[in-house]
Structure 1
Amino acid sequence: MRDGIEEDASETPEPRKPRLVYPFEAAPETGSGQAVEVAPGVLWLRQPLGGSLGFINVWAIRDGEGWAVIDTGLQTKETSQAWRAAFAGALGGLPVTRVIVTHLHPDHVGLAGWIARKFDVRLWMTRLEYFQCRMLVADTGREAPEDGVRFFHAAGWDDEAIDNYKARFGGFGKAIYQMPDSYRRLTDGETFRIGDHDWRVVTGQGHSPDHACLWCPELEVLISGDQVLPRISSNVSVHPTEPDADPLTDWITSLAKVKAAVPDSVLVLPAHNDPFRGLHARIDGLISGHERALTRLAGKLSEPKRVVDVFGALFARPIGPDILGMATGEALAHLNCLIGRGLAAREKDADAVNWYRAA
């Protein structure tokens, strides 16, 4: 599961995985500054993350006399040291020409500002990702808003959980180096050149506001970020800023859009796990997994339930305080999707707690 604040604990296992092909026997050593070439002029590097994920895949594409970098890792001492090793090692001392970020979560954008300033180059992001990231960073150090307190109280949180939310609020920006004050906007469907090849932007919603994938038809490569991961399913959450949102419908629609736009023959370069082939089968598996979860959840609503009462229908592991916020966001995404389909209804009781039942 993922809420954009603690991405290292943010993924849930997919119950059934399609058969995928992993063409590379060895991965680059995390943080070593070394790389594996996955296509002509396209390098695979791994930067360190804490928690269960352990690393994020980042990519460098030969761009004339330098390298375009896609995603960056968290702002940590270990990650900046790993990038210095990469600049001197796999990137051969050549400059970075631009920094491209798939979406706003800290493990992707964390060191974008540092690299952009170091090489005096432009940050490339979609508009919604850039401005929402700036907004969330601005919350750093703020007290938790009353809207957030009401949101989690309505989900059934107890006083201890809400106190924990208040204590942790405003931590998003701590993992992100100061963002550049200007950027170059990525737009869905546009094509731009990196080095010798054209790359097309394919955006998706649900996991983040306007996530950008990069597809190179000539190389048959798709840099998928968190939009399509081979072994884990990205968190899709409702947040206090938009409590009535239906991001799961956005997510399912976006996956279908990627499947229609990008051929199955591509080599998929994901942010987590290993590069793989089998894009369409994996997308089908992700969509069917959420549909099964929606069916299980709908079956639990014959009696009214709070958000915190439905975790067992969605998650195979216990939900502790460390991932309670992410689990709540994902459970709400499924509940709001059922409401949007006319399969569930919501009622607020006298204590301002929401109860969900089958419609």
Structure 2
Amino acid sequence: MIVTPDHGMPPLEPALEPTPVPPGPGELRRILPGLAWARMPLPFPPRHVNLWLIDDGEGVLAVDAGARTEDSVPLWTRILDEGLAGRPLTRLLVTHFHPDHVGFAGWLCERHDVPLLMPRTEYLMARFLSLDTDEGMTARQLAFAAAAGCPPAHLDFLAGRGPLYARAVTALPRCYRRIAQGDVLTIGGRAWHVHTGGGHAPEMAALHCPELGVLISADQILPRITPYVGVGAAEPLADPLEDFLASNERLRALPAETLVLPSHGEPFTGLHARIDALAAHHAERLETLAAGLAAPLTTFEAARILFPRVTEDRQIGFAVGETLAHLNRLVESGRAERIGDEVPRYRRRARAEGEAAEP
């Protein structure tokens, strides 16, 4: 149990309509009493990330920090000086280790002398990747791509890119406060329950406030796009799709009418319907991929089935990672088999006589 004091300060006024238009860069939109919405631009798709600011006693707790970009300082300065009318940050809660969420956290924590709250795995991932800058990191990335059967041109792209993560984040504090599944944070006199989920990130935090009927879903549940669920070079045999689907099913315990505040896109209701849609999407992807594995394929070749129009090098990496997540799920569920070691290939497994079909 994590409990923090509430100083009884009034929420920022005035409150806006429940579903406001998205705020511009550096602006705030009040969506509920004690809860505001900010949006930061990204130099890569999906071009923005949502931040959530919750009244927290004398100041405001921020959920996520945005990316490290040239605009980060002026935009955050505008939020703090104009949007919050000089009210201070009290705490920074980062949902997961991806650069568009944690990228500017170090600067904010240092400049405003506030504690960083993160799930342990997410904090350690961010610290590790920000320090993993030697030649061995690039060599592992190249070995992973080569084992996937990627063409030489893509390997050259990876070799030239180098340690991308370290350049995308500011230095994280060496000290943080852990949040974990089942914790309850008191923010502005209200209880916010921590729900952690996997798949997109290993221990991503979402926050549910029963009193407000709100779920800050991070990247676990998005309204229109499907969160990236992929396998990385450090754990090539991982099964993140199983983690993702199981995590979503646990969120089904929340009320169907919950207002979902995602990291990308706009707030929405219909949590259970969206969980169903995400499950159906991945079920269709698995069926499509399994149908294409009549002959053995490398991961890169299989990616052409799921992502036939992807040709840009940065997107090839995502396509390969997500395809491998689906291949590993097929292998783990007994629907496909992995053949070979150096450049594995995958083929559909023939169903044994009398074996029931996959539901």
Alignment of 1:1-359 (within 5 A): 24-29=19-24, 31=25, 33-140=26-133, 142-260=135-253, 262-315=254-307, 317-348=309-340, 352-359=342-349
Q: Distance in 2 between matches of 1:68 and 1:236?
A: 28
SS of the residue corresponding to residue 308 of structure 1 reads helix
Q: Distance in 2 between matches of 1:295 and 1:98?
A: 44
SS of the residue corresponding to residue 281 of structure 1 reads helix
The one-letter amino acid of 2:142's match is: V
Deviations 1:284-312 (A, max 9, x none): 10011001100110000111111111224
Query: Contact 1:143 / 1:166 at 8 angstroms: preserved in 2?
Result: no
The one-letter amino acid of 1:130's match is: Y
Deviations 1:52-96 (A, max 9, x none): 322111010000110000011111120221100000111110110
Q: Distance in 2 between matches of 1:71 and 1:51?
A: 17
Give the paired residue count.
333
Q: Distance in 1 between matches of 2:46 and 2:142?
A: 29
More moved, 138-147 vs 153-162: 138-147
The one-letter amino acid of 1:345's match is: E
* 1:114 CA displacement: 1.0
* 1:24 CA displacement: 2.0
SS of the residue corresponding to residue 50 of structure 2 reads strand
* 1:149 CA displacement: 2.5
* 1:25 CA displacement: 4.6
Deviations 1:203-240 (A, max 9, x none): 10010110000000001111011000001011111111
Query: Contact 1:23 / 1:275 at 8 angstroms: preserved in 2?
Result: no
Query: Contact 1:192 / 1:200 at 8 angstroms: preserved in 2?
Result: yes
Structure 1 gaps of 5+ residues are 1-21
Q: Distance in 2 between matches of 1:65 and 1:23?
A: 24
The percentage of counterpart residues that share the same residue type is 41
* 1:184 CA displacement: 0.4
Q: Distance in 2 between matches of 1:56 and 1:207?
A: 15
More moved, 52-61 vs 279-288: 52-61
Deviations 1:241-282 (A, max 9, x none): 11111111111111111112x211211110001011111101
Structure 2 gaps of 5+ residues are 1-16, 350-359
Q: Distance in 1 between matches of 2:151 and 2:45?
A: 27
SS of the residue corresponding to residue 272 of structure 2 reads helix
Q: Distance in 1 between matches of 2:113 and 2:75?
A: 20
The one-letter amino acid of 2:345's match is: W
Q: Distance in 1 between matches of 2:47 and 2:67?
A: 12
SS of the residue corresponding to residue 285 of structure 1 reads helix
* 1:315 CA displacement: 2.7
Q: Distance in 1 between matches of 2:338 and 2:46?
A: 35
SS of the residue corresponding to residue 313 of structure 2 reads coil
Higher-Rg structure is: 2
SS of the residue corresponding to residue 51 of structure 1 reads coil
The one-letter amino acid of 1:344's match is: A
SS of the residue corresponding to residue 132 of structure 1 reads helix
More moved, 166-175 vs 219-228: 166-175
Query: Contact 1:319 / 1:327 at 8 angstroms: preserved in 2?
Result: no
Query: Contact 2:18 / 2:31 at 8 angstroms: preserved in 1?
Result: no
Q: Distance in 1 between matches of 2:20 and 2:69?
A: 29
TM-score, length-scaled by structure 2: 0.89
SS of the residue corresponding to residue 108 of structure 1 reads helix
* 1:141 CA displacement: 5.5
Q: Distance in 2 between matches of 1:140 and 1:146?
A: 11
Query: Contact 1:202 / 1:213 at 8 angstroms: preserved in 2?
Result: yes
SS of the residue corresponding to residue 89 of structure 1 reads helix
The one-letter amino acid of 2:193's match is: R
More moved, 306-315 vs 60-69: 306-315
Structure having greater relative contact order (Cα 8 Å, sep ≥ 6):
1
